[in-house]
Amino acid sequence: MNIVDWNALDAATRNALLERPAQTQNVERAQAVARIIAQVGQEGDAALKRLTAQLDGCELDALAVPGEAFDAAEALLDATLKKAIADARTRIETFHRAAAPQPVRVETAPGVLCERVLRPVTRVGLYVPAGTAPLPSTALMLGVPAQLAGCREVVLCTPPRADGSVDPAVLYAARLCGIERVFRLGGAQAVAAMALGTESVPRCDKLFGPGNGWVTEAKQQVSAAPGGPAIDMPAGPSEVLVIADAKADPRFVAADLLSQAEHGPDSQVLLLTDAREQADAVVAEVERQVAQLPRADTARKALSASRVIRVESLAQAAKVSNAYAPEHLILNVSDPRALLTQIDSAGSIFLGAWSPESVGDYCSGTNHVLPTYGHARAWSGVSVASFQKQITVQELSGDGLRGIGACALTLAEAEGLEAHAQAVRLRLAELEATA
């Protein structure tokens, strides 16, 4: 890990430094994903089975996980893990319920009632990654808000293991969220199946979930197609940016950086510090800790695109962080609340020494499906609102229309839209005649 001084760099080098490794457009991958989507569209289940054999090394008779596999998964898991999944689920539900949008009902003028009602997206498709490692926590992060929103049909896809089975913890977490329609599908083919529908997999209105470059590319392609499903956001390879001052414990900082580096070779981790010794200490500590990780090779690949940047002040660190817009931001500084006021863009923020990013991944209660690639500049993480439509409603009494009708007439006439004006004028005349 090289250490660089932000203030010694020219503008072009600074920009290059804040680019994601996976951001450069991968034309070959985009074309391969387009071919996968086309195959699924043309051949349905037959293409899904062939692609699963090719890409996941798994021959499948049926794509759906059989009902008895859920019971078997529950029996197989040890009690401590089941309790951890259930406890995490409870906290995720507590936060998401509290943060859920509320209906609105307000009179904007006498006799003019405006409302917002909430309706679930009817049929949603969830993707739970399992390439590098199965992520049952992601099943909770998607399943809980889908359940709270009241989505009527929820299907979940996750890559199968070579023997055709699915990680039992994923099945257990899915069932805790009321999901029993699980398909043994991964990558772009899973996304294509949920977007287009096949003999087995229902076509979904909106797709959710993180994944590797194949999954993210596929989500973007299917949502861009005419009539394609909506997607939650581009939630690609994990990222963390840590801002640490001289007081931060370099062991904690290094561990936090490595926690996201171990996700995949194209993950990216950054450290910004205003303390020269802190940068040196963290680099040394990362070297020490990475060697002890089972996923040392993966983490080392991610570290090759990592950044350690010295800044002149924490205020400058906040500006650099805002420009990068990280998925996760850790403020490991003496007064994190003060620094928080200077942060504009991040998926999720962790304050102080005792808030490792890992707790957000699993069990503090916030959602871990978050925008990457800098999309945190404009997107938010998954929430109950992501699974809902917010529909506005208005109801006017005769007096209400009398009160605001002239305003509508003036604006319609100014826009030259006579039929708009007429729809108001006719009613005003009728009210006049019957008064």
Ligand X SMILES: NC(=O)c1ccc[n+]([C@@H]2O[C@H](COP(=O)([O-])OP(=O)(O)OC[C@H]3O[C@@H](n4cnc5c(N)ncnc54)[C@H](O)[C@@H]3O)[C@@H](O)[C@H]2O)c1
Ligand Y SMILES: N[C@H](CO)Cc1c[nH]c[nH+]1
Binding residues for NAD(+): 127, 189, 212
Q: How far is CA 293 from CA 285, 286, 300, 340, in A?
A: 13, 11, 10, 32
Instruction: Return the residue of 264, 336, 365, 400 that touches ligand X, per CB under 6 A.
Output: 264
* Closest residue to ligand Y: CB criterion: 238
Give residues 192-211 in contact with ligand X (rule: CB under 6 A): 210-211
Is residue 56 close enough to count as binding ligand X by CB under 6 A? yes
Is residue 256 close enough to count as binding Zn ion by CB under 5 A? no
Instruction: Return the residue of 130, 142, 305, 343 that touches ligand X, per CB under 6 A.
Output: 130
Instruction: Return the residue of 39, 137, 364, 367 that touches ligand Y, per CB under 6 A.
Output: 137
User: Measured between alpha carbons, how far is 370 from 373 in angstroms, rounded to an integer?
Assistant: 10
Is residue 327 close enough to count as binding ligand Y by CB under 6 A? yes
Q: From Zn ion, ligand Y, ligand X, none, which one binds at residue 137 (CB under 5 to 8 Å depending on kind)?
A: ligand Y
Compare residues 52 and 138 and give the one whose CB is closer to Zn ion: 138
In DSSP terms, which residues pair with 240 in a beta bridge?
Answer: 269, 328
Segment near ligand X (CB under 6 A); pick from 104-112, 181-189, 268-276, 351-359: 181-189
Residue 328: active-site member: yes
C-alpha torsion 93→88→172→185, nearest 10 = 80
- In the annotated binding site for substrate, the residues are 238, 260, 263, 328, 361, 415, 420
User: Measured between alpha carbons, how far is 225 from 403 in angstroms, rounded to an integer?
Assistant: 44
Q: How far is the CB of 341 from ligand Y (least distance, A)?
A: 25
Segment near Zn ion (CB under 5 A); pick from 58-66, 198-206, 276-284, 355-363: 355-363
Segment near Zn ion (CB under 5 A); pick from 119-127, 150-158, 220-228, 359-367: 359-367
Instruction: Return the residue of 144, 361, 362, 383 that touches Zn ion, per CB under 5 A.
Output: 361
Residue 368: active-site member: no
- In the annotated binding site, the residues are 127, 189, 212, 238, 260, 263, 328, 361, 415, 420
Instruction: Return the residue of 124, 192, 215, 384 that touches ligand X, per CB under 6 A.
Output: 215
Is residue 235 close enough to count as binding ligand X by CB under 6 A? yes
Is residue 143 close enough to count as binding ligand X by CB under 6 A? no
Q: How far is the CB of 380 from ligand Y (least distance, A)?
A: 14
- In the annotated binding site for Zn(2+), the residues are 260, 263, 361, 420
Segment near ligand Y (CB under 6 A); pick from 13-21, 132-140, 150-158, 424-432: 132-140
Q: How many residues bind ligand X (CB under 6 A)?
A: 29
User: Measured between alpha carbons, how far is 350 from 360 in angstroms, rounded to an integer?
Assistant: 8
Q: How far is the CB of 382 from Zn ion (least distance, A)?
A: 15
Cα torsion 380, 384, 387, 390: sign: negative
Amino acid at 335: D
Q: From ligand Y, ligand X, Zn ion, none, which one binds at residue 129 (CB under 5 to 8 Å depending on kind)?
A: ligand X
Q: How far is the CB of 263 from Zn ion (least distance, A)?
A: 6
Compare residues 93 and 361 and give the one whose CB is closer to Zn ion: 361
Is residue 368 close enough to count as binding ligand Y by CB under 6 A? yes
Is residue 242 close enough to count as binding ligand X by CB under 6 A? no
Terminal CA-CA length for the chain: 81
Is residue 274 close enough to count as binding ligand Y by CB under 6 A? no
Is residue 298 close enough to count as binding ligand Y by CB under 6 A? no
Three-state SS sequence of the chain: CCEEEHHHCCHHHHHHHCCCCCCCCCHHHHHHHHHHHHHHHHHCHHHHHHHHHHHHCCCCCCCECCHHHHHHHHHHCCHHHHHHHHHHHHHHHHHHHHHCCCCEEEEEECCEEEEEEEEECCEEEEECCCCCCCCHHHHHHHHHHHHHHCCCEEEEEECCCCCCCCCHHHHHHHHHCCCCCEEECCHHHHHHHHHHCCCCCCCCCEEECCCCHHHHHHHHHHHHCCCCCEECCCCCCCEEEEEECCCCCHHHHHHHHHHHHCCCCCCEEEEEECCHHHHHHHHHHHHHHHCCCCCHHHHHHHHCCCEEEECCCHHHHHHHHHHHCCCEEEEECCCHHHHHCCCCCCCEEEECCCCCHHHHHHCCCCCCCCCCCCHHHCCCCCCHHHHEEEEEEEEECHHHHHHHHHHHHHHHHHCCCHHHHHHHHHHHHHHHHHC
Q: Which residues bind to ligand Y, rule: CB under 6 A?
A: 135, 137-138, 238, 260, 263, 327, 361, 368
Catalytic residues: 327-328
Q: Which residues bind to ligand X, rule: CB under 6 A?
A: 55-56, 129-132, 135, 138, 159, 186-188, 210-212, 214-215, 235-238, 263-264, 267, 327, 368-370, 372
Q: Which residues bind to Zn ion, rule: CB under 5 A?
A: 361
